[in-house]
């Protein structure tokens, strides 16, 4: 279980997250929505362990362990996965090679034997189908020359192969046309199961039409201002974010 308690985080000395509280149980899909600059991406990056973010207060535990004390690769071995908003291109590093190194590093950390090449390729081919990824992309450099949609598809493909217990999808819908969105969303839906927690960070309600969340949170000004079910997302789509802010401010003064 992911448990975030009173999380404060700063970038370049500026406080972005100002006390986040969040619990995600196995099998749950949470959506975190919010306007630009609300701290959505900061939250994703802090969970994945990117450099440059300083946690000034509070903490994150993952299955009872202190997530913030772990290096990014240790988080990956513990089952945490971030689907990047802007996946970076890595020319010269083969897509499949990266996944094989990732899968085997995780197995090694868990005391399991490495997958043999045949079993691994079978796994890869099976998962590529899940997001309708052209097999030609497997042997290319990581994201090298991929379109925006192909990059996002590749992220979900990697998620499928790495089989995380916690997946953070950071603006996975941005830059996708409607057909690509359907494919990516259907891939994610097939990856939903009773053990896996999924946190979708998104600006738009559109993604939630295809991946139905169990819980929706509104993140604004570095805090979760409101939590509800999928109907909250629809209301946000209709009314924008200002009413949530006003309500929260009213609640604070009341």
- The answer to whether 158 contacts another protein (rule: CB under 8 A) is yes
Q: 60 with 67: CB under 8 angstroms?
A: yes
Nearer to another protein, 73 or 179 (CB): 73
Beta strand extents in 71-222 (DSSP E only)? 80-83, 90-94, 141-142, 166-170, 197-202, 215-220
Does 98 sit near another protein (CB under 8 A)? Answer: yes
- How many residues line the site for another protein (CB under 8 A)? 35
The binder of another protein chosen from 94, 174, 186, 227 (CB under 8 A): 94
Would you give the end-to-end CA distance of the chain in angstroms? 33
Q: Which of 91, 135, 228, 251 binds another protein (CB under 8 A)?
A: 91
Closest Cα to residue 83, out of 207, 206, 178?
Answer: 207
Q: Which of 76, 128, 133, 211 binds another protein (CB under 8 A)?
A: 76
Site for another protein contains 101 (CB under 8 A): yes
Contact criterion met (CB below 8 Å) for 182 and 152: no
Of 223, 232, 131, the closest CA to residue 179 belongs to: 131
Confirm or reject binding of residue 120 to another protein (CB under 8 A). Answer: no
Closest approach of Cβ 98 to another protein, in Å?
6
Classify strands 65-66 and 80-83 as parallel, antiparallel or unpaired: unpaired
User: Toward another protein, which CB reaches closer, 103 or 225?
Assistant: 103
Positions in 194-233 near another protein (CB under 8 A): none
Give dist(CA 37, CA 21) in Å, integer.
18
CA neighbor of 30 nearest in space, from 156, 153, 168: 168
Using rule CB under 8 A, residue 145 touches another protein: no
Instruction: Decide whether 38 or 158 has the Cβ nearer to another protein.
Output: 158
From 2, 41, 43, 84, residue interacting with another protein (rule: CB under 8 A): 84
Tell me: does residue 123 bind another protein (CB under 8 A): no
CB-based burial, 194-207: b 16+ in 10 Å, e otherwise:
eebbbbbbbeebbb
| Interface ranges with another protein (CB under 8 A) | 48-51, 71-73, 75-77, 81-82, 84, 87-88, 90-94, 97-106, 114, 141-142, 158, 162
């Amino acid at each position: 279980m992911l448990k975030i308690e009173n999380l404060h985080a700063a970038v370049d000395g500026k406080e972005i997250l100002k006390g986040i509280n969040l619990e995600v149980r196995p099998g749950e899909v949470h959506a975190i929505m919010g306007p630009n600059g609300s701290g959505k991406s900061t939250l994703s990056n802090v969970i994945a362990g990117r450099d440059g973010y300083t946690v000034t207060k509070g903490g994150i535990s993952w299955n009872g362990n202190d997530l913030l004390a772990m290096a990014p690769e240790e988080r990956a071995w513990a089952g945490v996965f971030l689907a990047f908003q802007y996946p970076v291109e890595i020319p010269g590093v083969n897509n499949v090679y990266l996944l094989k190194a990732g899968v085997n590093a995780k197995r090694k950390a868990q005391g399991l034997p490495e997958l043999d090449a045949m079993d691994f390729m079978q796994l890869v081919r099976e998962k590529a189908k899940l997001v309708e990824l052209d097999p030609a992309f497997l042997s290319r450099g990581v994201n090298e020359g991929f379109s925006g949609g192909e990059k996002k598809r590749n992220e979900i493909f990697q998620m499928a192969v790495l089989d995380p217990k916690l997946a953070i999808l950071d603006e996975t819908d941005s830059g996708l046309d409607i057909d690509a969105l359907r494919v990516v969303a259907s891939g994610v839906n097939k990856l939903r199961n009773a053990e896996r927690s999924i946190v979708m960070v998104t600006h738009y309600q559109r993604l939630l039409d295809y991946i139905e969340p169990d819980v929706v949170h509104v993140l604004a000004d570095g805090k979760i201002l409101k939590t509800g079910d999928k109907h909250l997302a629809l209301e946000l789509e209709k009314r924008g974010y200002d009413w949530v802010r006003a309500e929260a401010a009213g609640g604070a003064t009341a």
